[in-house]
């Protein structure tokens, strides 16, 4: 148990329910990235990852992110030790990080 989140994720993202919730989240967040305000391409991110027990369809656990902010967040989740106010920490990091092409942890 616990190692099947990828399959689980695919099941969620392919569902009709997800498509409905996703649009509701984008609408709630004004069709903008909640981190940087970008209004281009958007993805809906789980604030608490599903693999960590986050609710897949709970709008309070979802937020609109642009692909680059989403990638950075995922990178933090999978590589770096969590600092106590984790959410605030990654937001600060997003503001100051600039361009760092390290996406290794996405592949591993
Ligand atoms: Zn963004």
Cα–Cα distance measured from residue 100 to residue 52, given in angstroms and rounded to the nearest whole number? 26
What residues pack around ion ligand 1 (CB closer than 5 A)?
A: 33, 35-36, 38, 66, 69
pLDDT tens sequence across 33-43: 999 999 999 99
pLDDT of residue 86: 65
Distance CA 62, CA 44 (A): 6
pLDDT band at residue 103 under the 50/70/90 scheme = very low
38: enclosing H helix or E strand: none
C-alpha 65 to ligand 1 mean position (Å): 5
pLDDT tens, 6-49?
Answer: 566 778 989 999 999 999 999 999 999 999 999 999 999 999 99
Q: For the CA atoms of 85, 75, 13, 62, what is the dihedral angle to 10 degrees? A: 20
Q: Residue 5 pLDDT > 70, yes or no?
A: no
CA of 84 to the centre of ligand 1 (A): 22
Residue 83 C-alpha to ligand 1 middle, in angstroms?
Answer: 21
Tell me the C-alpha distance between 24 and 93, whole Å. Answer: 28
Per domain, the residue ranges of the chain are 32-82
Q: Does the pLDDT value for residue 56 go beyond 50?
A: yes
């Amino acid at each position: 148990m616990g190692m099947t989140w990828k399959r689980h994720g695919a099941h969620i993202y392919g569902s009709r329910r997800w498509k409905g919730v996703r649009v509701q989240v984008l609408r709630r967040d004004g069709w903008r990235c909640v981190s940087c305000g970008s209004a281009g391409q958007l993805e809906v991110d789980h604030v608490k990852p599903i693999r960590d027990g986050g609710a897949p369809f709970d709008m309070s656990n979802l937020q609109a992110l642009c692909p680059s902010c989403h990638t950075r967040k995922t990178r933090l989740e999978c590589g770096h030790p969590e600092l106590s106010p984790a959410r605030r920490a990654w937001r600060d990091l997003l503001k100051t990080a600039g361009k760092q092409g390290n996406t290794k942890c996405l592949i591993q």
